[in-house]
Amino acid sequence: MGSALAYFLPFTGYPYRGDTVDCPVCGSARHAPIARHDRKAKRLTTELCHDCGMFFTNPMPSEAELAAYYASVYRLEYQLARLRPRRAHSARKAGEAARRRAALGRVMDLDRPRRILEFGCGSGELAVHLAEGGHAVTGFDPHGGYTRHARERAAAHASCTIRTGRWQEMTFAPASFEAITCLHVLEHLATPVPALARMRDWLAPGGILYLEVPDMQAYEPKGPTRFHFAHVLGFCSDTLGLAARRAGFGLVSAAAPTSLFLADAADRRAAPFALDPRRLAATAARNAADYGTRPPLARRLAYHLRRIRRLLAREFGG
Q: Assign residue 194 the CATH number of its domain.
A: 3.40.50.150
Q: Round to whole Å and give the CA distance between 207 and 214.
A: 23
Q: Are 53 and 238 in contact (CB under 8 A)?
A: yes
Query: What residues make up the domain containing 279?
Result: 2-316
Torsion of CA 253, 259, 263, 269, to 10 degrees: 0
Q: What pLDDT sits at residue 315?
A: 58
Q: What pLDDT sits at residue 74?
A: 84
Q: Round to whole Å and give the CA distance between 110 and 118.
A: 15
Under the banding of pLDDT at 50, 70 and 90, the label for residue 317 is: low
* pLDDT tens string 158-189: 999 999 999 999 999 999 999 999 999 999 99
Q: Are 264 and 252 in contact (CB under 8 A)?
A: no
Q: Round to whole Å and give the CA distance between 287 and 270.
A: 28
Asked whether the predicted pLDDT for residue 220 surpasses 80, the reply is yes
Q: Are 66 and 165 in contact (CB under 8 A)?
A: no
Respond yes or no on whether the N-terminal peptide bond of residue 277 is cis (omega within 30° of 0): no
Asked whether the predicted pLDDT for residue 27 surpasses 90, the reply is yes
**H-assigned helices in 155-212:** 192-202
* pLDDT tens string 129-169: 999 999 999 999 998 888 888 898 888 889 999 999 999 99
Asked whether the predicted pLDDT for residue 280 surpasses 70, the reply is yes
Instruction: Provide Rg for the chain, Cα atoms.
Output: 19
Respond yes or no on whether the N-terminal peptide bond of residue 33 is cis (omega within 30° of 0): no
Amino acid identity of 201? D
What percentage of the chain carries pLDDT values higher than 70? Answer: 89
Q: Round to whole Å and give the CA distance between 90 and 199.
A: 26
Q: What pLDDT sits at residue 318?
A: 46
Q: What pLDDT sits at residue 61?
A: 97
- Phi and psi torsions of 191, nearest 5°: -125, 80
Q: Round to whole Å and give the CA distance between 46 and 190.
A: 13
Collapse the DSSP code of 241 into the 3-class scheme (helix H, G, I; strand E, B; otherwise coil) and give the result.
Answer: helix
Residues 96-121 have a mean pLDDT of: 96
Q: Round to whole Å and give the CA distance between 210 and 189.
A: 17
Q: Where are the beta strands (DSSP E) in 50-171?
A: 55-57, 115-119, 136-141, 160-164
- How many domains is the chain built from? 1
Residues 102-119 have a mean pLDDT of: 97
CA 198, chain centre distance (Å)? 15
- Phi and psi torsions of 182, nearest 5°: -140, 90
